[in-house]
């Protein structure tokens, strides 16, 4: 299953953060951080099928 990847970016200086915060720690401006959707990423287990030791059927 795909998981949406997001980042939080300051509109004033462009600094990015892993989660939202009220004040940008780079430029010290308040309420300038917005959420940006970067797309989706696949989880590691989505391309693997079968069980450990199975022959064939895995990702190619």
Q: pTM (2 decimals)? A: 0.58
Sequence-distant (6+) residues with CB within 8 A of 2 are: 40, 41, 42, 43
Tell me: pLDDT of 12 over 90: yes
Q: How do residues 31-46 score in pLDDT, each as one tens digit? A: 999 999 987 656 555 5
Q: How do residues 13-24 score in pLDDT, each as one tens digit? A: 999 999 999 999
- Residue 16 is encoded by which pair of tokens? 């990015």
Per-residue buried b or exposed e for 15-27, using 16+ beta carbons within 10 Å of the residue's own CB: eeeeeeeeebeee
Residue 20's closest CA among 40, 5, 4, 35? 35
Half-sphere exposure for 59 (CA within 13 Å, toward CB): 5
């Amino acid at each position: 299953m795909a998981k949406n990847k997001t980042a939080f970016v300051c509109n004033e200086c462009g600094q990015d953060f892993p989660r939202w915060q009220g004040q940008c720690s780079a430029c010290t401006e308040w309420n300038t951080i917005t959420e940006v959707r970067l797309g989706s990423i696949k989880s590691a287990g989505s391309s693997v099928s079968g069980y450990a030791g199975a022959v064939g059927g895995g990702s190619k």
